[in-house]
Amino acid sequence: MLQFFSKYKFFLVVLLVLSIIIISVIYSVLKPKEILPVFQPSEVNVELVDSTLHYKKKYHTIADFSLKNQNGAIVTQDNYKDKIYVADFFFTTCQTICPVMTGNMAKLQEALKNDADVLLLSHTVQPEVDTIAQLKRYALEKGVNDAKWNLVTGEKEQIYNLARKSYLAAKDAPYSPYELIHTENFVLVDTKKRIRGFYDGTQPEAIERLLKDIAILKAE
């Protein structure tokens, strides 16, 4: 028996390697590739979606925008062209969920600091309070990397429409025109401006899932 194995040792090793390769190929073919869903307005909680979009079932993308960041620079979709990004809504004087959300966005910034393909975008829902100077103070306090993360302000109507008609991430506050009740949602947007996921920005496990989903999205 030992003589047999000695005589055919090279052949057996080659056969073993080929078997491993074949099994690996079959497994990779049979294992379904993970693909994130593309969210449409009709699939999202109606409270977070403008009534004009409740029945929209396809082709939803983030609308063009022009806002100003913490440095007074104009930020448009050109800044996010061909990028994956995470968006949310907040205001600097919020004392409830915003500090937790901002802290978790900072953790995303740290985790993705060497990934030039992924950016962050936070919109204030109180532009009358969150001036450029106020956003800059907040950015410095929270350790915002200007190259990675924009805190933006602009016309209240535009921010309202972005929240309700594009990102589908805020409730309407009907007591005043263009007032919003922002949520804890972090919104994952792909390079084609489509929504690929919603995540609770106050929960560590949701942040971990978001990072995993970014990796899946990059592999698509």
Q: Which residues are annotated as part of the binding site?
A: 94, 98, 182
CB neighbours of 219 closer than 8 A, spacing ≥ 6? 33, 34
Q: How far is CA 109 from CA 120, 177, 201, in A?
A: 8, 33, 13
DSSP-H helix ranges across the chain: 2-7, 9-30, 98-111, 132-142, 156-161, 204-219
Q: Tell me the binding residues for Cu cation.
A: 94, 98, 182
Strand partners, 181: 171
CA angle at 61 for the pair 57 and 67, rounded to the nearest 5°: 145
CA-wise closest residue to 184 among 198, 202, 160: 202
